[in-house]
Amino acid sequence: MKQRTIARPVEMIGIGLHKGEPVKLRLEPLGEDAGIVFYREDLAMSIPLSPKSVINTQMATVIGGEKGVISTIEHFLSAVYAYGIDNMRIILDGSEMPVMDGSAIGFCLFLDEAGIQEQAKGKRVIRIKREVEAREGEKYAKLSPSQSASFDFKIAFEHPAIGLQKKYFELSTTNFINEIARARTFGFVRDIQYLQSQNLALGATLQNAIGLDDHRILNPEGLRFEDEFVRHKILDAMGDMMVLGFNILGSYSSFAGSHKLNFELTSALLADSRNYEMVTIESLQSREFAKSFA
Coil, strand or helix at 13: strand
Residue 115 Rama label (left phi>0; alpha psi -120 to 50; beta): left
How far apart CA 234 and CA 179 sit, in angstroms, is 10
How far apart CA 271 and CA 274 sit, in angstroms, is 9
5 CB contacts (<8 Å, ≥6 apart)? 29, 30, 31, 85, 86, 87, 88, 116, 117, 119
Catalytic residue among 18, 75, 232, 259: 259
Sheet with 124-128, strands from edge to edge, namely 248-249, 124-128, 276-280
Contact 94, 256 (CB under 8 A): no
259 is catalytic: yes
Residues marked active site are found at: 259
